[in-house]
Chains A and B, each alone.
Chain A
Amino acid sequence: MGGQQRFRPAHRLLTRTARGYAGKLGGRWGMVPQPPESFSTSVQACGLYPFGAGSYRPVDGAPLGEDLITHTAIATDHEALYRAGHITSPSMYLFGINGVGKSSTAQTLILGMVGRGMAPAIFDPIKGEHVAMARALGSDVWEVGDGAGKDRLNLLSPGPLGAAANRIGGVIGEELLTLALKKAVTLTQLCVDVARGAPSSAMENLVIETIVQTAIDRNPRPATRDLVDVFMHPSERMLAKSGHRDAESFWQRFSGENGLGETLRTLVDGEMGVLLGGTDSIEFTPGNPAGFCFDTSSINESNTKLLSAAMLSTWSLGMDAIDAHWELAQHESRLAEEAQQAGEQYEPAVRWGGYTTLMDEFWYPMRACPGMVDHVDKLSRTNRSKGTAELKVTHSTKDAESLPNEEDRTKARGLAERSGVIGLMALARTDLKELSKVRPLTEKEIDLVAGFSADPGWAGGRIEDALVARSDDGKLPPPPGAGKILLKLPERIGIPVQVRQSPTQRRYHVTDKRYRKQAA
Chain B
Amino acid sequence: MVRIAYRPDRSHEFGTDDQTGIRSRTRLTGAGPDSFGDGQRRVCLHDGVASMTAMMLVPPRMHITESFIKTLFVPHRKFLRKRVAMFYRPLDGREAVRRARQLRKATGINASSGSDSAFANHAKNLSGKLESELVSGAAMTRFAIEVTVTFEANRKAYREATQQLKQLLDGVGLEWRFVEVGASAAFHSTLPLGILPWQYKTLLQTLAETSN
Does B63 lie within 8 Å of A31, measured CB to CB? Answer: no
- Contacting B197 at CB < 8 Å: which of A18, A34, A46, A49? A34
Judged by a CB distance under 8 angstroms, whether A27 is at the interface is yes
Does B200 lie within 8 Å of A41, measured CB to CB? Answer: no
Interface of B is mostly: mixed
Complex interface: chain A residues within 8 A of B74 (CB): 70-71
- Contacting B133 at CB < 8 Å: which of A31, A32, A41? A41
Bound complex: CA A37 to CA B87 (Å)? 8
Does A41 lie within 8 Å of B87, measured CB to CB? Answer: no
Judged by a CB distance under 8 angstroms, whether B55 is at the interface is yes
Nearest Cβ on chain A to B16's Cβ, whole angstroms? 11
- Contacting A37 at CB < 8 Å: which of B133, B138, B143? B143
Judged by a CB distance under 8 angstroms, whether A9 is at the interface is no
Nearest Cβ on chain B to A76's Cβ, whole angstroms? 13
Nearest Cβ on chain A to B83's Cβ, whole angstroms? 14
Nearest Cβ on chain B to A105's Cβ, whole angstroms? 21
Nearest Cβ on chain A to B206's Cβ, whole angstroms? 9
Complex interface: chain A residues within 8 A of B66 (CB): 47
The answer to whether A39 and B141 touch (CB under 8 A), given A18-B200, A33-B197, A34-B197, is yes
Does A50 lie within 8 Å of B88, measured CB to CB? Answer: yes
Judged by a CB distance under 8 angstroms, whether A42 is at the interface is yes
Nearest Cβ on chain B to A262's Cβ, whole angstroms? 60
Does B146 lie within 8 Å of A35, measured CB to CB? Answer: yes
Judged by a CB distance under 8 angstroms, whether B48 is at the interface is no
Does A32 lie within 8 Å of B197, measured CB to CB? Answer: yes
Does A33 lie within 8 Å of B134, measured CB to CB? Answer: no
Judged by a CB distance under 8 angstroms, whether A44 is at the interface is yes
The answer to whether A27 and B56 touch (CB under 8 A), given A41-B138, A47-B66, is no
Does A35 lie within 8 Å of B56, measured CB to CB? Answer: yes
For chain A, residues 195 to 236, give those with C-beta under 8 angstroms from any C-beta of chain B.
Answer: none
The answer to whether A36 and B143 touch (CB under 8 A), given A41-B130, A47-B66, is no
Judged by a CB distance under 8 angstroms, whether B31 is at the interface is no
- Contacting A40 at CB < 8 Å: which of B75, B141, B186? B141
Judged by a CB distance under 8 angstroms, whether B115 is at the interface is no
Complex interface: chain B residues within 8 A of A41 (CB): 96, 130, 133-134, 138-141
Interface of A is mostly: loop
Fill in one digit per residue for B183-209: 1 if any A CB lies within 8 Å of its CB, else 0: 011100100000101101110010001
Does B184 lie within 8 Å of A35, measured CB to CB? Answer: no
Judged by a CB distance under 8 angstroms, whether A48 is at the interface is yes
Judged by a CB distance under 8 angstroms, whether B168 is at the interface is no
Fill in one digit per residue for B41-79: 1 if any A CB lies within 8 Å of its CB, else 0: 000000000000101111100011111111000110000
Judged by a CB distance under 8 angstroms, whether B27 is at the interface is no
Does A35 lie within 8 Å of B145, measured CB to CB? Answer: yes
Fill in one digit per residue for A292-329: 1 if any B CB lies within 8 Å of its CB, else 0: 00000000000000000000000000000000000000
Judged by a CB distance under 8 angstroms, whether A43 is at the interface is yes
Does A37 lie within 8 Å of B67, measured CB to CB? Answer: no
The answer to whether A33 and B64 touch (CB under 8 A), given A27-B36, A39-B142, is no
Does B63 lie within 8 Å of A37, measured CB to CB? Answer: no
Does B87 lie within 8 Å of A31, measured CB to CB? Answer: no
Bound complex: CA A152 to CA B146 (Å)? 67
- Contacting B143 at CB < 8 Å: which of A30, A46, A48? A48
- Contacting B88 at CB < 8 Å: which of A34, A48, A60, A70? A48
Does A33 lie within 8 Å of B202, measured CB to CB? Answer: no
Bound complex: CA A72 to CA B195 (Å)? 26
Judged by a CB distance under 8 angstroms, whether B155 is at the interface is no
Does A47 lie within 8 Å of B69, measured CB to CB? Answer: yes
Bound complex: CA A127 to CA B212 (Å)? 70
Complex interface: chain A residues within 8 A of B38 (CB): 27
Nearest Cβ on chain A to B195's Cβ, whole angstroms? 7
For chain A, residues 53 to 103, give those with C-beta under 8 angstroms from any C-beta of chain B.
Answer: 60, 66, 70-71
Complex interface: chain B residues within 8 A of A36 (CB): 55-58, 144, 209, 212
Give the size category of A's interface with B: 20 to 34
The answer to whether A44 and B189 touch (CB under 8 A), given A36-B57, A50-B88, is no
Does B179 lie within 8 Å of A33, measured CB to CB? Answer: yes
Does A45 lie within 8 Å of B141, measured CB to CB? Answer: yes
Bound complex: CA A42 to CA B142 (Å)? 10
- Contacting B205 at CB < 8 Å: which of A29, A31, A45, A46? A31
Judged by a CB distance under 8 angstroms, whether A398 is at the interface is no
Complex interface: chain B residues within 8 A of A35 (CB): 55-56, 87, 144-146, 197
Judged by a CB distance under 8 angstroms, whether B23 is at the interface is no
Complex interface: chain B residues within 8 A of A19 (CB): 185, 200
Judged by a CB distance under 8 angstroms, whether A385 is at the interface is no
Judged by a CB distance under 8 angstroms, whether A38 is at the interface is yes
Complex interface: chain B residues within 8 A of A32 (CB): 182, 185-186, 189, 195, 197, 200-201
Does A40 lie within 8 Å of B198, measured CB to CB? Answer: no
Complex interface: chain A residues within 8 A of B99 (CB): 39
Complex interface: chain B residues within 8 A of A30 (CB): 181-182
Judged by a CB distance under 8 angstroms, whether B25 is at the interface is no
Does A37 lie within 8 Å of B140, measured CB to CB? Answer: no
Bound complex: CA A70 to CA B182 (Å)? 32
Does A46 lie within 8 Å of B140, measured CB to CB? Answer: no
Fill in one digit per residue for A494-515: 1 if any B CB lies within 8 Å of its CB, else 0: 0000000000000000000000
The answer to whether A45 and B185 touch (CB under 8 A), given A35-B197, A40-B64, is no
For chain B, residues 12 to 41, give those with C-beta under 8 angstroms from any C-beta of chain A.
Answer: 19, 36, 38
Does A29 lie within 8 Å of B185, measured CB to CB? Answer: yes
- Contacting B69 at CB < 8 Å: which of A37, A44, A48, A60? A48
| Interface pairs (8), CB distance under 8 Å | A29-B182, A29-B200, A33-B197, A41-B138, A41-B139, A42-B139, A45-B59, A47-B67
Q: Which residues of A pack against B, CB within 8 Å?
A: 18-19, 27, 29-50, 60, 66, 70-71
Q: Which 4 A-B pairs have the closest CB atoms?
A: A32-B200, A35-B144, A35-B55, A29-B185
With A35-B87, A45-B143 given, name 14 new contacts (CB 8 A): A29-B184, A29-B185, A33-B182, A33-B189, A36-B144, A37-B89, A37-B144, A38-B143, A39-B140, A39-B142, A42-B140, A42-B141, A47-B64, A71-B75
